[in-house]
């Protein structure tokens, strides 16, 4: 069941109120909506720290150069529509990551003994839906962002002890979390072919805290403006906490790296 606290409920009410108010307040709306869809590749490095009852069980930093040996599957796309000042946005990100590490000689008290093998498998889906309000009402300007971010995750930790008969301890966590987010984005233009956008938002509710930031450049292909290349950088940090069978599991996930995409507009 989704974990929805007061912050999330307030964000939902505020988002619904703004969605109802925007059409009535829109005085410079165009006759039709403008839409874009951008499949993209997030060439991210991933940091994952997992604690059980405050003790670090796994601490992985997977650089992009090593990612494909640990990455089972990933897919992402972004969709957006705007009419005048009002707009809608949707983002989909899925990653399935597995990694294995051996506990070193020096570790935190309470961690698995040296030589233990820790296998970590994280499957995560992040869905984001919301809206924006462009203060200028023009093609460029400052956007107020609001919406919900749903995070579904399956996390499996297997710890195999170094001494025979090499018993394995398995801990599973499957949180489904809903956050409300608020943020700002600035969309600008450089000449006829280049554009850019800078975004930052903060979210909480199901997660303890999620920070998201990105900066993108867009290059228009051809004269129609229907196609474009996207390149930039994105950072996201999620702090998750769940209690499973009497064990407090804390997961700190950091995604950061370049983004490449191809945009379709109509």
Cα separation of 250 and 54, whole Å?
Answer: 8
pLDDT above 60 (res 23): no
Please give the DSSP secondary-structure letter assigned to residue 224: S
Beta bridge partners of 26: none
**What are the φ/ψ torsions at residue 64 (nearest 5 degrees)?**
-60, -30
CATH number for region 6-25+34-265: 2.40.128
pLDDT at 201: 97
Q: Using an 8 Å Cβ cutoff, are 125 and 93 in contact?
A: yes
Q: What is the pLDDT of residues 201-244, one digit of tens each?
A: 999 998 899 999 999 999 999 888 899 999 999 999 999 887 77
Between 232 and 27, name the one with better pLDDT. Answer: 232
Task: Give the other-Cβ count within 10 Å of 4's Cβ.
Answer: 17
pLDDT at 243: 78
Which pair of structure tokens corresponds to residue 175?
């949180």
> What global pTM score does this model have?
0.73
pLDDT above 70 (res 135): yes
Q: Using an 8 Å Cβ cutoff, are 204 and 226 in contact?
A: no
Q: What residues have CB less than 8 Å from 97, skipping those under 6 apart?
A: 46, 48, 62, 70, 71, 72, 121, 122, 123, 124
Give the pLDDT band (50/70/90) at residue 50.
Answer: confident
Between 178 and 247, name the one with better pLDDT. Answer: 178
Taking every pair of Cα atoms in the chain, the longest distance, rounded to a whole number of angstroms, is 74
pLDDT at 111: 64
Antiparallel, parallel or unpaired: β 117-134 and 168-173: unpaired
What is the overall mean pLDDT for the chain? 80
Q: 18-29: string of b/e by CB count within 10 Å (b at 16+)? A: bbeebeeeeeeb
Q: Using an 8 Å Cβ cutoff, are 162 and 113 in contact?
A: yes
Please give the DSSP secondary-structure letter assigned to residue 66: H
* Residue spans per domain, the chain: 6-25+34-265
Rounded to 5 degrees, what angle do the CA atoms 172, 115, 69 make?
65
């Amino acid at each position: 069941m989704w974990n929805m606290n007061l912050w999330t409920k307030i964000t939902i009410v505020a988002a619904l109120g703004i969605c109802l108010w925007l059409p009535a307040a829109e005085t410079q709306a165009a006759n039709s909506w403008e839409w874009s869809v951008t499949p993209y590749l997030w060439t991210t490095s991933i940091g994952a720290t997992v604690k059980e009852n405050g003790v670090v069980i796994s601490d992985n930093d997977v650089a992009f150069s090593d990612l494909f040996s640990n990455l089972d599957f990933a897919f992402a796309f972004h969709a957006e529509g705007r009419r005048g000042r009002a707009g809608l946005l949707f983002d989909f990100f899925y990653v399935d990551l597995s990694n294995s590490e051996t506990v070193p000689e020096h570790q935190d008290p309470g961690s698995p003994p040296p030589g233990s093998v820790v296998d970590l498998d994280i499957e995560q889906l992040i869905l984001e839906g919301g809206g924006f309000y462009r203060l200028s009402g023009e093609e460029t300007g400052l956007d107020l962002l609001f919406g919900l971010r749903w995070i579904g995750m399956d996390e499996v930790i297997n710890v195999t002890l170094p001494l025979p008969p090499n018993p394995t301890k398995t801990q599973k966590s499957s949180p489904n979390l809903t956050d409300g987010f608020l943020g700002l984005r600035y969309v600008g233009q450089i000449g006829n072919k280049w554009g850019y956008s800078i975004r930052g938002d903060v979210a909480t509710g199901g997660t303890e805290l999620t920070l998201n930031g990105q900066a993108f450049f867009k290059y228009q292909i051809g004269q129609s403006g229907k196609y474009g290349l996207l390149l930039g950088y994105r950072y996201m940090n999620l702090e998750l906490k769940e209690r499973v069978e009497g064990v407090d599991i804390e997961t700190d996930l950091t995604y950061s790296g370049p983004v490449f995409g191809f945009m379709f507009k109509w």
